[in-house]
Structure 1
Amino acid sequence: MTFAVEANCDGLVGPTHSYVGLSPGNLASTRNAGEVSNPRAAALEGLAKMRRLSDLGLPQFVLAPHERPAIRFLKSIGFSGADETVLEDAWKAAPALAAAACSSSSMWAANAATVTPSADAADGRVHFSPANLLTNLHRSLEGEQTTRALRRLFPDARRFAVHDPLPAQPHFADEGAANHVRLCAEHGGPGVNLFVWGRQAWEDWDGAFPARQTREAFEAIQRRHGAARGVFPRQAKAAIAGGAFHNDVVCVGTRQCLFFHERAFEDRVAMERAVRTAAADLFEPVFVEVSEAELPIADLVASYLFNSQLLAVPGEDRLVLLAPAETRDNPRAYAVAEGLAASNGPIGRVDYVDVRQSMRNGGGPACLRLRVVLTDEELEAVNPAQRFSPDLHKTLADWVERRYRDSLAPGDLADPLLLTESREALDELTRILSLGGDFYPFQRTA
């Protein structure tokens, strides 16, 4: 078996981080719409979380924010003139579209792509399919730039295959790794891939909130990646109705352990049977289920217990759960979390991290990262300037302190000065991370 580790690629929060409430079904996003955000604090919180993982000995990488406001999008829908004029006119004539063009949602890198490690891929390369995210307008703007970002981070075509997003059609609605879990005995060995879907392409969906992932999208990704041992459980309709817009709100897994809520899957028994069958002769899966009685769905969504990072930390015999501070603050969720650590199960320790700025938009620790299993040789082929280190932490924290506002109301997004500030900040960032002078659209049209 080839040795490999699970690296985390975190999305860096962008200068336009705001609470506009763009995501139906994301209860936190809706609840906090209109509030004042703090982009500086949000970015520093994200960097502090990256530092936590790097200090644990886990490879950590930084994904740059997307250019926002997305002036090219606004021009494509009929606004014209100087970029500052385009922004002002869009906010006056079509504020909902202007708000979508300003979203900093690329920070949630769990939606960036679905990843198949080389141990599971037919051609022995690491495969990425950037998500088309077409269910919500503001997120559907991300696919092209995400593809560019992944190709800069993973440039060696001999080792990495970064595909284009799936066709931008409702039949192939795809939300990336937020609905994908990989289980295995060791990261470098063969695994079982859980592709969790909310609806089928031709299904007459009648839920109160959208089911964002189709089964057909994941089937297409499995085919193009040549991904072995795929299992396709359905996310429970009750979970979606309760505010679990992605499977990673109700489920997280790594190595042999799948940690999930009673209402995560439409048919839990069938899911477990399919996973055991796919894992036969490879490893024995460990299922850790939390019941509705222990943690009602309302507390689950408020605490984001399952939107934690489940980590195999070097030197520790059992897994570490890195949960949001909201889990610690919710009595029921905290009791479940601490009960895990006190048991003899696979999770030996629960740590807590403050990402409150992200949480207020419905994104916990797991939302902020894309997991990529890499061998030593693959690690060496990743863009070294994007690998997190204490020195990079210091450089990026200084950059954030200088470049980001500490207060941003939704109305401030119409400020043309914010467009200039954001572009100047991102232009400097491309030099820090060695992304090239053509990384962002404004750099290619200047």
Structure 2
Amino acid sequence: MTHHTTPRTPRTHRSRAGRALGTGAVLTALALALALAGCGADAKDEANRTSGTAGPDRPADPAAPANPVEPAKPVVKGLPGMPPVLDRTDVYAADRPNKLSPVVKDFPSRVYVPNTESDTVTVIDPKTYEVVETIPVGVQPQHVVPSWDLKTLWVNNNRGHTLTPINPRTGKAGKPVEVHDPYNLYFTPNGKYAVVMASLDRELVFRDPHTMKRLKTEPVSCYGVNHADFSLDGRYFIVSCEFSGELLKVDTERMKVVGKQKLPFEGAMPQDVKISPDGKRFYIADMMADGMWVLDGEKFDEPTLLPTGKGTHGLYVSRDSREMFVSNRGEGTISVFDFTQDRLTKKWHLPDGGSPDMGGVSADGKVLWLSGRYDSEVYAIDTGTGAQLARIPVGNGPHGLAVYPQPGRYSLGHTGIFR
């Protein structure tokens, strides 16, 4: 059922441009590991993990075969201090439906919508599709960002030069923290730093993730740093530069730009960035090239363009890691990319058009929430059929909305990139 709470507001045209191993090999590897470790605790735990038998962190499964053998998975040597990767073949393995961290399991489910032209955050109850609160914040809020430890939502007041903390348990805003030019906000996978995308300052600013005290500033030569995602091992991240059509590769531990390239499209405006489940490719939405750039992050060589639709903007991975939803802001559509088939499989059209921008997927994976940037509204879309479930009026210029809480152990930032 589609809910229309009030008539749609007229569209404006303001944009950011203007403003596997075999069984024998597995058993051999396990025997060698046990021999070398003298059957110590670590070796036993590893044997339990690989064989699927019960152990300290894995209760026995009464339905499991007596001696199951699973394919061994390569060890990932991650960024120091980063929580171990759950599955070498799927960086989103911790994001399964309703797999909420104990930290957030009692938080009320809400959709937080920053309205860039109203200087407010609209709070929506996703069960009723009703607005339950409007929170005044700073000037030009761009994104609502979950903190690494999942305990705080940070509202990025870009031109107000502050971050407003919101307690997701109570829904109450706290005292704003002074941070210059916070267009977007990320967190290193080990939780050591917050990374502010200072778009107009042309800086990546590494800060304390709790106090937001500036720790290191990395100047960049590109213009309009805005979105990012981290490699599977967390040792580097790829950044999009909107206004100069460039990409950066940044060493996480050294907090240093180690690569830069110009996208091979005149007038390119790269936006959202997402890594593939297997960690082998990065996808970068481009609102002027009308598609996604596909990049090998390790090689950081020239990417290829996959057309999706006019004004390609946001990228959101499904709860089973099979698909990615791509918002095409300029034509009111959502493209669906299948990772397993490596191709686009569907395109959904919003009834009466719209301007789908940034958002996220519900905890159960059944609803895709997107802001309608030019239409002062939010869309709720069925992830199985593409049907519009609701169209909810909000403030002016709704942008980087956050669906919260979501599954995952920790947040890498933006509107919710969880691992």
TM-score, normalization: structure 1?
0.34
- Pick the structure with more helix per residue: 1
Higher relative contact order (CA 8 A, sep 6+): 1
Which is greater in Rg?
A: 2
- Pick the structure with more strand per residue: 2
